[in-house]
């Protein structure tokens, strides 16, 4: 059974929105493909960074909530997000991140792949991984970006999750979403869907005495998994209910349809359809340039715009 095809998008909590934009566009070279508001907290931004066309599987999104305390890492919480680049690309990225003042860890090898861990300006844990195998996800480079096309981030490769006890979470992953158990290395067990390529992985670690994690600046808010269409999404919804989960009804996010569920250990999952995509309400050549609001918020546009801080696009300088 394969109930999901891989990662659809990952949403995290950032601090200042301008610093967030400067880092993900100006340093990591991802394209701002949508500038919107949090649909539940419409006086705050929701910023979407992805490949050149905003394909599912490439999309990292942020709620900039600088008033929150820093993340408290712990059990039941998503942790480090891995970003996939081509083999050899870390030779480009290591000096680029250093010259941007990014705090990086040492180069590591994990499951046979070279990995460079680092943190974003708000303490979110990230890693660039040189992935030899990509799932069949589409990737379109962003030719106007500050990073040369060959070195650009191609996919969200995987994500880490810490739990106190794995039994219920593993059953949820397997029976609800169709994950299979892979190898274990250095205390992390890899769970995969599809071919287990970059974009189809969760690395799970059991820490029985870990305290419960708490959302804050630098935390991953949720991880969304791909369903090709609403039929597949409804199957997953049923499978999740079959393992005792309580998925929400389908919510229309305009760019995709979503259901949400909290797994037994506490981490928030979403299952999102591939379509219709980010060009449903904007010209693909001008994604992310204007503030896009859901229709029910349009009457309040003037008030919303007045409350949001003005954002400037960073200067896009290449250094290699």
Chain contacts with Zn ion (rule: CB under 5 A): 11, 224, 270
CB of residue 270 to Zn ion, shortest distance in Å: 5
User: Which lies closer to Zn ion via its Cβ, residue 223 or residue 293?
Assistant: 223
Residue 305: phi and psi, rounded to 5, are: -60, -35
User: Which lies closer to Zn ion via its Cβ, residue 55 or residue 96?
Assistant: 55
Give the integer Cα–Cα distance in Å for 238 and 215: 28
CB of residue 96 to Zn ion, shortest distance in Å: 28
Helices (H), the chain: 17-21, 90-99, 167-171, 177, 230-242, 301-307
Report how many helices (DSSP H) and strands (DSSP E) the chain contains, helices first. Answer: 6, 16
Beta bridge partners of 188: 185
CB of residue 222 to Zn ion, shortest distance in Å: 6
Closest CA to 80 of 101, 51, 96, 60: 60
CB of residue 64 to Zn ion, shortest distance in Å: 15
CB of residue 13 to Zn ion, shortest distance in Å: 12
User: Which lies closer to Zn ion via its Cβ, residue 11 or residue 77?
Assistant: 11
User: Which lies closer to Zn ion via its Cβ, residue 40 or residue 298?
Assistant: 40
User: Which lies closer to Zn ion via its Cβ, residue 130 or residue 274?
Assistant: 274
Neighbours of 212 (CB within 10 A): 12
Under DSSP, the state recorded for 75 is B
CB of residue 77 to Zn ion, shortest distance in Å: 16
User: Which lies closer to Zn ion via its Cβ, residue 63 or residue 134?
Assistant: 63
Query: How many residues would you count in the chain?
Result: 320
Give the integer Cα–Cα distance in Å for 236 and 218: 29
């Amino acid at each position: 059974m394969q109930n999901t095809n891989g990662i659809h998008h990952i949403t995290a909590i950032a601090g200042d929105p301008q610093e967030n934009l400067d880092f993900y566009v100006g340093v990591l070279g991802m394209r701002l493909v949508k500038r919107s508001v949090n649909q539940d907290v419409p006086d705050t931004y929701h910023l979407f960074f992805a490949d050149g066309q905003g394909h599912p599987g490439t999309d990292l999104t942020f709620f900039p909530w600088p008033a929150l305390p820093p993340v408290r890492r712990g059990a039941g919480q998503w942790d480090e997000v891995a970003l996939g680049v081509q083999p050899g690309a870390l030779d480009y990225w290591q000096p680029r991140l250093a010259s941007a003042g990014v705090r990086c860890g040492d180069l590591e090898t994990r499951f046979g792949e070279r990995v460079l861990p680092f943190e974003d300006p708000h303490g979110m844990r990230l890693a660039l991984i040189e992935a030899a195998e990509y799932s069949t996800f589409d990737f379109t480079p962003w030719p106007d970006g500050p990073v040369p096309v060959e070195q650009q981030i191609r996919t969200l490769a995987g994500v880490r999750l810490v739990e106190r006890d794995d039994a219920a979470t593993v059953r949820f992953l397997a029976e609800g979403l169709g994950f299979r158990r892979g190898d274990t290395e250095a205390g992390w067990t890899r769970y995969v869907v599809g071919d287990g390529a970059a974009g189809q992985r969760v690395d799970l670690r059991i820490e029985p005495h870990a305290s419960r994690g708490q959302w804050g600046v630098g935390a991953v808010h949720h991880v969304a998994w791909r369903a090709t269409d609403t039929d597949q999404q409804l199957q997953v919804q049923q499978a999740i209910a079959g393992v005792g989960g309580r998925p929400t009804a389908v919510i229309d996010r305009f760019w995709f349809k979503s259901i949400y569920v909290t797994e037994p250990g506490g981490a928030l999952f979403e299952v999102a359809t591939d379509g219709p995509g980010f060009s449903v309400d904007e010209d693909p050549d001008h994604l992310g340039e204007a503030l896009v609001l859901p229709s029910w918020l349009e009457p309040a546009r003037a008030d919303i715009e007045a409350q949001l801080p003005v954002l400037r696009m960073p200067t896009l300088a290449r250094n290699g």
